[in-house]
Structure 1
């Protein structure tokens, strides 16, 4: 009887502790599928790239996304998804896919509409009334963040609605302001969304609630473009400067798969050790994809794993992978190159080169939304206070830029009120067949053992690099000794000949001089 009483007390205490601890900060549920539909990519228009930016925003919230063009939609597709986002980029094109119209009329899941032609059923649920303002100059605001005025040839705005508003669309030189977007129940609507201004932050605020994400956003600083042939002394000086300013940072380094025993590679590793000791975090950038990429699908996995091993051997703990967005929508790249990492930095696509394209994205536990420092400067043009970000935001600096330009950007960061988070404070994991690398609460771990960042890391633990290292092996020479003796003999003969020739010149000069006197 006493044992049962004690068990009851312990169970009650456990329940009370669980209720007092509160809900944990989580991302979008990984088992919740999201369908992203679009009617047009809006090429050569101001809306070009907004679908790609939306994909990166959804990745930052940890959403499992399937991307589909409306032309490829087939009957009953909506029934397989819990959430649907439809981007209507072409206002002059009406939806002619009858299967989609039929399924949409019966769809009861979460729905977010971006653009014009809001479905009538959703319009009734949101009680929205819209209007189109021709040739408008607008400013998009999201809390205290804002963007410069942008001229829009035809701007759709919400004039009446029911639900929770997000952000604002302020007409330039006008008193009219409309919500950027609204959510009511399980339905959401954003009439205008473009790439590269504060509409990204306004949409992220709406997406956070629509996806049910509770995790607050952090601000990170990322330095891109670090190669073995980069100016490593310049990198160390930048690390010292950021460390002195109290700004934690992330360095995205290019992997090396061959000649990892060369002195140049050793200096590269020592620079990473120095960065890590200066409160910097390391992420591995994806290798450069060429048209002549090997057809062997195991090469990428083997090489990425080998570079992780090289870093681990030198006490360097990478915490994620940096890649262009399309890598996460490719079966080969995501399975062979990104499978070691649970965290990523997904950059905008620069040159898309799929190997095995996938409509479904790879999900990461952590994937901050990356923006350039110019975008950040635009956001904070009129901002005075620091507000909580709705999404993890990573500001990128290009290390390959000229020193004067980079110095100006760092000076601007030092002068701002911005508070950058330490990437190591979050949980990250990199794992292959030989090593497990982790971070949590600012502590780096290797195979479960904590690494202390002490003075040995500042000076480098990999030894000194040889300045006169032979990068190419000399061919074996079987007659080198004989040739050396011959060369010495020829040198002696030539020397004697020159000496004799000199004596003849002296004797001839004296004889000619005596003849002249006579």
Structure 2
């Protein structure tokens, strides 16, 4: 009997321990890990056309991480102890810091040093197999995992550290003439990128290596999205229906980026979807065939900062959203051009929209634009960013298809990649079919944007989507529906004018009638 009790107690103890360990593991998985980014000059970094801090932030944003940025000169002893990852970024140079370097020596977690002056830390540290520093003036090629090579064009002065190749893992190399040097490597807890990533190939390679730095192993199915863009009241509606029918026949959901109010530069006439016969019905038809509606921000992207720009943006967003909502069309995203992340924050667009699609007005290559190989999220408002990283299909460029395939080769080096491509609704549909056929050979899963948690919030307009369903709560009162109100008032005015004219006609008729009667009475006398 006592033996049975002991067995029961032992089983209960084992179960309790198992439950405790599982719950502890679950808590540890949900707990945010902390990342410290150290920078040499905040101001100089922010002045760069492509800011590496933003690159690193966006690359980390897909993971459950808390990110802080600190200047090297503000570092104090033991600061890094509370962080799970440390990423020093050195644009130019840093002074030797005993406190920081001593702390890095004792630090057990991963370190990812990006840029110059790593030699100041490793040359006195016997833990790593540092051998020498090379000064390069030009770099023409980057290789990733000895399987993919990409042409780049960097000139300047680059301090590139080298290590004992037998003791390190080399992810990527760069070439200056015939010399092959390290771009990214790993030894023990040290990761090193010798160049500041400011070209697409350098950025995309770094984005993938960050997975290993963070210990992320999972490989998700390759995803993608198609954006049918520049849809406005002047576009051929038959062509829009043809595009929708084709994508529906291929079982491909897609994004339709529309300009509900469009100014035609040729004839200097503004047209709206309300005024254009059949246009609303055509958009509804595209929705039935799988379209998710996005607002096309072509008229505001790249808008120069002026004193009244906030007012202009508000008027644009308000008038375009109201034009959509009044016609039962509900955008759940906005498309911006030239990939200007700061523009979104400056104009508070990230408070109006949750979801942003970044495209380009340039040809399909857009090598100097910021793009990412996957969907990114931001901590502030949990904004979703989608990137048209395959480019903008245009038949004006005879090499468009080869460039698209080259872009795909670059994007696809990443795990969990999401490809995005823009198709101008006025282009020949055959180029769209050729693109779809190519992506289908790559087993791309096309995303339905409505399946994600999207929202639009602007002065009484609330649009939400989740799991394929869109919910609407829109109250267009007189304060935030001036366009609708003006239309209503003008109708009342027209009605009153007609009534007044009729009343005047009746009054004149009665006046003439009685005048005639009085005249007849006068002659009788």
Q: Is 2:189 aligned against 1:166?
A: no
Higher strand share: 2
Q: In the alignment, is the contact (CA less than 8 A) between 1:249 and 1:280 conserved in 2?
A: yes
Q: Which moved more, 1:201-210 or 1:244-253?
A: 244-253
TM-score, scaled relative to structure 2: 0.59
In 1, Cα distance between the equivalents of 2:144 and 2:404?
A: 9
| Secondary structure at the counterpart of residue 445 of structure 2 | coil
Q: Show the counterpart of 2:289.
A: 278
What RMSD, in angstroms, separates the aligned Cα atoms of the two structures?
A: 5.7
User: What is the aligned length?
Assistant: 422
2:447 corresponds to which of 419, 423, 434: 423
| Residue 371 (structure 1) aligns with | 389
Shift of 1:205: 1.1
Structure 2, gaps ≥5 residues long: 262-271, 363-377, 393-399, 473-486, 508-525
Q: Is the 8 A contact 1:281 1:423 kept in 2?
A: no
Partner of 1:206: 209
Alpha-carbon distance between aligned partners in 2 of 1:220 and 1:250, rounded to the nearest angstrom: 11
Q: Which residue of 1 aligns with 2:342?
A: 326
1 or 2 for the larger relative contact order (CA 8 Å, sep ≥6)? 1
Task: Measure how far apart 1:250 and its partner are.
Answer: 3.2
- Out of 410, 424, 430, the residue aligned to residue 399 of structure 1 is 424
Shift in Å at residue 397 of structure 1? Answer: 1.6
Distance 1:322 1:36 in 2: 33
Deviation of 1:76 after TM superposition, in Å, equals 3.8
After superposition, residues 95-494 of structure 1 pair within 5 angstroms as 95=94, 102-103=99-100, 105-107=102-104, 108=107, 110-118=110-118, 120-121=120-121, 124=125, 125-129=127-131, 130-141=133-144, 145-148=148-151, 150=153, 152-154=155-157, 157=160, 159-161=162-164, 162-170=167-175, 174=178, 177-216=180-219, 218-223=222-227, 225-226=229-230, 228-229=232-233, 231=235, 233=237, 234-245=239-250, 247-253=252-258, 263-264=274-275, 270-283=281-294, 288=300, 291=306, 292-293=308-309, 310=325, 314=328, 318=332, 322=335, 324-326=340-342, 332-334=348-350, 336-338=351-353, 341=354, 344-345=356-357, 362=380, 364=382, 367-373=385-391, 378=403, 380-381=405-406, 389-397=414-422, 399=424, 403=427, 408=431, 411-412=434-435, 414-415=437-438, 417-424=441-448, 428-430=452-454, 437-440=464-467, 444-446=468-470, 473=491, 475=494, 476-477=496-497, 480-481=501-502
What SS is found at the alignment partner of 1:180? strand
Contact 2:136-2:157 within 8 A present in 1 as well? yes
Compared CA separation, residues 185 and 310, structure 1 to 2 (3 A): farther
Deviations 1:249-296 (A, max 9, x none): 33445688xxxx972599665455434433444445679477425579
1:403 counterpart SS class? coil
1:333 shift after superposition:
4.5
- The normalised TM-score by structure 1 is 0.59
Q: Quick check: 2:34–2:66 contact (8 Å CA) kept in 1?
A: yes
Pairwise mapping of residues 39-58 of structure 1 onto structure 2 (< 5 A)?
39=41, 40-41=44-45, 48=50, 50-58=52-60
Distance 1:385 1:194 in 2: 15
How big is the shift at 1:53?
4.0
Flag structure 1 segments of 5+ consecutive residues without an equivalent: 351-359, 449-468, 487-518
Would the aligned equivalents of 2:112 and 2:191 in 1 still touch at CA under 8 Å? yes
In structure 2, what is the Cα distance between the partners aligned to 1:248 and 1:220?
10
SS at structure 1 position matched to 2:224: strand
- What do the CA deviations read for 1:96-145 (whole angstroms, capped 9, x no partner)? 5x8x7744542535432222211533564543444234444324436755
- Quote how far apart the aligned CAs of 1:190 are: 0.5
Deviations 1:283-329 (A, max 9, x none): 456794774255799x79x9699769949x958683x5555422675
CA distance in 1, matches of 2:323, 2:401: 32
